[in-house]
Amino acid sequence: MSTDFSLNSGMARDKLYGLSKLKQQNQQQVQEQQQQNQVMQQPATSTIQWTQAAQAVEQVGNQNVQNQARGLEIQAPNLEDVAMLTSTVSTKEESIAHMVGQKIISHLGINVGALKEKFKEYYRQSKSHNLLLERFMANVKMSGLNAMLTLAGLSADEIEHTKAEVREEALKEIDSKLQQDWAYAKAMIEIVG
């Protein structure tokens, strides 16, 4: 059989009929895949749909190769066409990674509230006057906790808000300590001796 497909009046009738049937079947398959590739309005599935679409294209591509081996050439939609085929895209923030992260956190039995408290504590210690403690907390523990908190579902805004709260508390404490522990003590030592 020739590799190029072309409808020729000189071809045998049964062969022509068979080839046209095959072409119809392939067109039906492509239409079904296009329907599958349409993105539904479902949350947290945007990444999966793109991967599904890519897999569908690959399958069609593989089929294309098989058809070429049989001597047929069928135009299958490319990856660029898949982008054009999808009309709507889900833009919700919560993605598969978030859901998986929350599942992992709940499976490990980690309390998000306790994690938040630990984060506040370590953030406080990461600004300590003790150089070793400050470096260790800031580089090791904070980076780990940040990752855990994002996995648990806390947004960057929430983390920043928590950090601002801790900062306010710490500055108030420093102010009161300067007044009480330093200035008052110094004055009493000067007066009383």
- Label residue 38 left, alpha or beta by phi (over 0 means left) and psi (-120 to 50 means alpha): beta
27 residue type, one letter: Q
For the bound state, the minimum distance from the C-beta of residue 116 to other proteins, rounded and expressed in Å, comes to 20
In angstroms, the CA 116 to CA 165 distance is 12
For the bound state, the minimum distance from the C-beta of residue 124 to other proteins, rounded and expressed in Å, comes to 10
For the bound state, the minimum distance from the C-beta of residue 171 to other proteins, rounded and expressed in Å, comes to 6
For the bound state, the minimum distance from the C-beta of residue 178 to other proteins, rounded and expressed in Å, comes to 5
Give whichever of 151 and 166 is closer to other proteins, judged by the CB atom.
166
Q: Are 64 and 29 in contact (CB under 8 A)?
A: no
Q: What are phi and psi of 155, to 5 degrees?
A: -80, 170
Give whichever of 58 and 181 is closer to other proteins, judged by the CB atom.
181
Report the b/e string of 8-20 with b at 16+ CB within 10 A: eeeeeeeeeeebe
- Considering the rule CB under 8 A, would residue 125 count as an interface residue with other proteins? no
Considering only residues 160 through 189, tell me which ones interact with other proteins, judged by CB under 8 A: 167, 170-171, 174, 177-179, 181-189
x/- mask, other proteins, residues 63-92, rule CB under 8 A, reads ------------------------------
Cβ-in-10-Å burial (0-12, 13-18, 19+) of 37 comes to buried
Binding site for other proteins (CB under 8 A): 127-129, 134, 167, 170-171, 174, 177-179, 181-193
